[in-house]
Amino acid sequence: MTSQMALSNTRSRAPILTTYAVFVFAFIYLPIVVLIAYSFNRDGVGGFPPRHFTMDWYRQLFADRAIWDAMLNSLIVATASVVLALTLGLLAALALDRASFPGKALFRRLVLLPLILPGIITGLSLLMFAVFMGLPLSLLTVFLGHGTALISVATTELFAGLQKIDRAQEEASLDMGATPWQTFWRITLPNLKLSLIAAGLLIFTLSMDEIAVTFFLIGRDNTLPLEIWGRLRRGITPEINAISTLIFAVSVALIVVWYRVRTRGLGAEPQDLLERS
Amino acid sequence: MYSRAYKSIVSLPPLLWVGLFLLLPYALMFAHSFWLVRDGFLVHQWNLQNYQKLATNPLYVEVLLRTMRIAASVTFLSLLLGYPLAYYLSFHAGARKELLYQLVIVPLWVSYLVRGYAWKTILGSDGVLNGFLQYFHLTHAPVSFLLYSPFAVVVMLTHIYTPFVFLPIYAALEHIPRPLVEASQDLGASQRATFLRVILPLSMPGLLAGATFAFVLSLGDFLAPLLVGGPSGTMIANIVQSLFGAAYDWPLGAAVSVCILLITVTLLFLTERLEKRWSFK
């Protein structure tokens, strides 16, 4: 109670800090607001103020086959990456939590590496690997890159989830004669449901947006960010504002879902994995 | 409690996968940096030529130093924006705290590329900012030095990493036991002294984590320079990219990558040690 009073006292005494915070928020949101506003501007990007409202850029966008093909490619890659990263991430989290094997410390660091290293290093390493193995560059190599790099995210989230599970439940299940397999499906997995959903959403979004690793692994078929990238190199078009606004809207929708899941007492930071295991 | 079979079933697949698709590729990068290219073909001949070239060619050293300067500016500015914001939210936002926190997070989910593009449309010579300045008669001709400069790269990267820097600092501030702050004030310390001697030291691990993150990721960025940097904003990762592309010298490119990797890993190692030292336990 006293602390709340103290806080509300200090609150009124910090006009400079409050102004500064408003300024920082303005900086963070300026580009997003500009982006959305100019997606409805008839005269295109640039100039001030935006004058004539139009939906033309959205109409043009919906008629643009290349964008939607790229979108479909991105959805396929992201979905496949979620499946791969969640499966291997779950096993890795179980291994880190429950098994001991030589090189465990190294393994833990290696899994997290793509999360910490600049994307260009992971991307180029995988490019050299693909060439070395004689794999032609295609959506398959992009999927291998995304799926493998994002095991880090899955492992971090699921490891945190495992740490919160009550081990006694599993012990009871095993003691009462359930096989390890049954225990896994009926006790471990249901307990991890929320972590799995949170990790899955995060991996999906990260894969949809990935560009640094994709840049080096892409074949003839573009993902959405690479298609946008290609257009940016040729010049600015408000169609990009329109697709960006749509992506923003979808992201916000996903965040709402993500928070619904996350506020039920979940969440992990990469540091947690390093500290706790 | 868990059988041997259980342990091997959960350990083997990720170990094999990570070994094949992560360890082997990183090792290949390392190996390439000791090979060379002759007449447009890769020769598997072990040597140190690439590293010698890097150390002796002033171009590489110059670009690396510029990259470090840009990364340091981004880190400094992100802290300058992120820390006070985190402090405000943690100590002064009252009931609006949760909502404001979400507001900081939302832009994290907006595509990197889209945010870079937005800055391009803002800073360009016929962009939004120039339109704005001329509309209010603050300038009469377009200001053209904004885009395609190291300045634009710093603005774009600062915009991207401020929320990332904010997050660990905010988490650290939230973990500071409030009675400690009250005790400091009750014992007569000024607000400034309380901040400098209680709050700042206790938030140091978060500050370090955020700073490392911003520095390391800026260091390896090649997209921001391509989007808004222009020739004067070229960074070290662009050199890597061109060596792997048009210049076709993978071994030299790999050697530069290994340097970036070594700088990154050293920094992470150092800050991890520092964070442990500052940890409140």
From chain B, the residues in CB contact with A120 under 8 A are 220, 222, 237, 240-241, 257, 260
pLDDT for A269 equals 52
Nearest CB to A117: which of B2, B115, B261?
Answer: B261
Structure token digits, residue B163:
């929320």
Surface of B (41-70) touching A: CB under 8 A? none
Q: Which fold has domain A65-276?
A: MetI-like fold (1.10.3720)
Peptide bond into A238 cis (omega under 30): no
Say how far apart CA A54 and CA A239 lie, in whole Å: 12
Structure token digits, residue A79:
């979905």
Q: Which residue of A has its CA nearest to B133?
A: A48
CATH 1.10.3720.10 range(s) for chain A read 65-276
CB pairs under 8 A between A and B: 253
pLDDT tens, residue order, chain A (277 aa)? 444 444 444 444 688 999 999 999 999 999 999 888 888 888 777 667 777 888 888 998 888 899 999 999 999 999 999 999 999 999 999 999 988 888 888 899 899 999 888 999 999 999 999 999 999 999 999 999 999 999 999 999 999 999 888 888 888 988 898 888 888 889 889 989 988 988 998 899 889 989 999 999 999 999 999 999 988 877 778 888 898 888 888 878 877 777 776 665 444 555 555 554 4
Q: Which residue of A has its CA nearest to B126?
A: A46
The more confidently predicted of residues B203 and B132 is: B203
DSSP state of B153: H
**pTM flag (> 0.95):** no
DSSP state of B188: T
Q: Assign B277 a pLDDT band (cuts: 50, 70, 90).
A: confident
Please check whether residue A273 is in contact with residue A155, taking contact to mean a CB–CB distance below 8 angstroms.
yes
Region of A102 please: left (phi>0), alpha (psi -120 to 50) or beta. beta
Please check whether residue A139 is in contact with residue A77, taking contact to mean a CB–CB distance below 8 angstroms.
yes
Domain spanning B48-278: which superfamily?
MetI-like (1.10.3720.10)
Amino acid found at B169? I
Whether B1 and A144 lie within 8 Å, measured CB to CB: no
Write the ipTM: 0.88
Q: Which residue of B has its CA nearest to A181?
A: B6
Whether B222 and A124 lie within 8 Å, measured CB to CB: no
From chain A, the residues in CB contact with B18 under 8 A are 88, 92, 107, 110-111, 148, 151
Q: Which residue of B has its CA nearest to A171?
A: B1
Nearest CB to A28: which of B13, B121, B162?
Answer: B162
